[in-house]
């Protein structure tokens, strides 16, 4: 269908699209003209503050890339001394095989599964356990009844 067979509404739509395209091109040209001759830079000084002046190269310190640690630091030996914890079983479902232990020191609920038990436990039992990191949070393992 040639343009001679276009309806009035189709012509209006085509004209609007063409005007929109021309306006966009004009804005693009205006932005190019507005740009300044020199680009402005922002520098960071040795204290981490932004400044407009470049840093003094005489104060540059060489850093060995192998000394940079990315990630979470490994746990220290002092953390391993407190692995055995005490708590009270706040909930345990025998049929489903899981429950929760309230840690005596942190008052945090720790998930326990039947696979982490050394003895059978019930609600309100005082127990000792170790915490390991599970898929959804801390898990109690090596759970046994505290006889003290």
Q: Which residue from 134, 131, 133, 139 is spatially nearest to 86, judged by alpha carbons? A: 131
| pLDDT for the residue numbered 130 | 93
| pLDDT for the residue numbered 78 | 46
Contact (CB, 8 A) for 118 and 144: yes
| pLDDT for the residue numbered 75 | 60
- The tens digit of pLDDT for each residue in 11-52 reads 899 999 999 999 999 999 888 877 655 567 788 887 888 888
| pLDDT for the residue numbered 80 | 45
Task: Tokens 């001679």: give the residue.
Answer: 4
| Beta strand residue intervals within the chain, DSSP E | 43-44, 50-51, 84-93, 98-103, 109-113, 126-133, 138-145
**Which CATH code, of 2.40.50.140, 2.60.40.3140, 3.40.50.1820, 1.10.150.120, is assigned to 77-145?**
2.40.50.140
- The tens digit of pLDDT for each residue in 43-101 reads 888 788 888 888 888 878 888 988 887 887 666 554 444 588 999 999 999 999 999 99
């Amino acid at each position: 269908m040639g343009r001679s067979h276009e309806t009035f509404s189709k012509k209006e739509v085509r004209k609007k699209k063409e005007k929109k395209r021309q306006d966009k091109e004009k804005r693009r040209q205006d932005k190019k003209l507005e740009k300044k001759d020199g680009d402005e830079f922002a520098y960071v000084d040795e204290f981490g503050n932004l400044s407009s002046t470049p840093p003094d190269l005489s104060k540059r310190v060489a850093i060995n890339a192998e000394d940079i640690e990315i990630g979470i630091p490994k746990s220290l030996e002092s953390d391993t001394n407190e692995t055995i914890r005490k708590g009270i079983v706040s909930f345990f479902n025998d049929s489903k095989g899981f429950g929760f232990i309230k840690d005596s020191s942190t008052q945090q609920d720790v998930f326990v599964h039947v696979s982490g038990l050394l003895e059978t436990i019930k609600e309100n039992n005082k127990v000792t356990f170790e915490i390991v990191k599970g898929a959804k949070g801390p898990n109690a393992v090596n759970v046994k009844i505290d006889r003290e």
